[in-house]
Amino acid sequence: MAFTKGHKINVGRKYKRSVPVWNHGLKKDTEVRLNYERPTSFKKGLTPWNKGKKGSQVAWNKGMKLTEEHLTKLRKPHPSARRENNHNWKGGMSSENKMIRESFEYRLWRTSVFERDDYTCIWCGLHSGKGKAVTLHADHIKPFAFYPELRFAIDNGRTLCVDCHRTTDTWGRSKK
């Protein structure tokens, strides 16, 4: 359905609404007020069950003592929560690339490259500060995929801002 000029979107029923009387067969200049009840979950005059009660009186298990056996059972993970037993397990589909980039060694390499370059883009000299934030990337000079022996070599890294990183040959695509 296309919107035409003057079309109004229905945003819900108002509580009191004026309707022209000619819809009800009365004179054309007068209006009738229609009253609609406000949609609530409680009826007027009824008090909710928890009115006047404090939080500790409402919680059913507050202050409940559990046995040591029950606590150890709660701490132990359910057998279906383990890898192969879970219904969502797809057989270890995380790629090697993702596993390496989320590893502790990769984070150390990245921070050491940033510290060596003083958190400054080596091509344009941008760095965060004075009210502006610059997103920096740790870029591999020799590609990550083609030189696995140089993945964690600090000499193979450089700090680039996003704009400079996009001008590199290996930005966002694989070269063969």
Residue 2: the pLDDT is: 59
Domain map (residue ranges) of the chain: 96-166
Helix residue ranges per DSSP H, the chain: 55-58, 68-75, 96-101, 104-116, 162-166
Query: If you average pLDDT over every residue of the chain, what do you get?
Result: 77
Q: Are 14 and 36 in contact (CB under 8 A)?
A: yes
Taking only the tens place, the pLDDT of each residue in 9-32 is: 555 555 445 555 445 555 555 555
